[in-house]
């Protein structure tokens, strides 16, 4: 389906971009400047990994190959290697990364004729989302281990913020309790441990203040 296209030509077909610059994406979050800088650096590392993934997926699509397991392994291994530079990889994160690797492959298979699913924009969009998933969990564990007792949900109040996330902005609860966000429960933004639905997770830019 993409036999006569180069990787650059494929990316030129993606006109409805979903990502934004890392400086803007993390810069708007209500987190300390050093935390923003760490997330930007981690996102840059992950983006490089995911660009390699997109190029490999594109090559497979061109050759009509169907063995995705080597790519899934590459996604998992490179993600974990990058993650270990920034935080400890506990059971939660290890499980998340493995599940994520399968999700990337499954969504590509389901949209194999759509250029976006092999694109640089997808690589960047995934990177910025995955950084928030991993670092939000790491910050929660740091707060628990530091004997923090309360937490406050912080939403970015702009035109793309979900209604459910606007409504919970500024809410305080005990650190061990979960926030009720729309149809989901979460210990922190992008937390999946309690079965939060994807519509509350994907591209969430909310953060937590721990007290």
Q: What is the pLDDT of residue 1?
A: 72
Give whole-number Cα distances, 178 to 58, 91, 109, 181, in Å. 40, 19, 34, 9
Q: Which residues contact 147 (CB under 8 A, 6 or more apart)?
A: none
- In contact, 105 and 72? CB cutoff 8 Å: yes
Q: What is the pLDDT of residue 89?
A: 97
Among candidate residues 51, 210, 22, 53, the one with its CA nearest the CA of residue 132? 22
Q: What is the pLDDT of residue 64?
A: 87
Judged by DSSP in three states, 185 sits in: strand
Question: Assign residue 88 a region: left if phi > 0, alpha if psi is -120 to 50, beta otherwise?
Answer: beta
The stretches in the chain having pLDDT less than 70 are none
179-184 contacts, C-beta under 8 A, 24 or more apart = 179/153
pLDDT, tens digit, for every residue of 80-104?
999 999 999 999 999 999 999 999 9
Quote the CA–CA distance of 209 and 150 in Å, as a whole number: 8
């Amino acid at each position: 389906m993409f036999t006569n296209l180069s990787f650059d030509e494929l990316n030129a077909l993606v006109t409805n971009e979903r990502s934004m610059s890392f400086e803007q994406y993390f810069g708007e979050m209500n987190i300390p400047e050093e935390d923003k800088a760490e997330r930007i650096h981690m996102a840059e590392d992950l983006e490089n990994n995911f660009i390699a993934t997109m190029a490999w997926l594109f090559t497979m699509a061109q050759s009509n190959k169907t063995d995705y397991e080597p790519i899934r392994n590459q996604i998992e291994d490179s993600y974990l290697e990058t993650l270990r530079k920034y935080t400890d990889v506990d059971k939660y994160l290890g499980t998340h990364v493995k599940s994520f690797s399968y999700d990337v492959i499954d969504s590509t298979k389901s949209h194999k004729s759509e250029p976006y699913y092999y694109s640089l924009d997808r690589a960047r969009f995934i990177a910025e989302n995955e950084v928030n998933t991993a670092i939000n969990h790491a910050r929660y564990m740091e707060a628990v281990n530091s004997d923090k007792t309360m937490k406050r949900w912080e939403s970015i109040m702009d035109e793309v913020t979900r209604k459910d996330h606007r409504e919970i902005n500024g809410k305080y609860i005990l650190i061990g309790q979960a926030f009720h966000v729309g149809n989901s429960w979460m210990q922190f933004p992008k937390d999946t441990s309690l079965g939060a639905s994807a519509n509350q997770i994907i591209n969430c830019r909310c953060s937590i203040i721990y007290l």
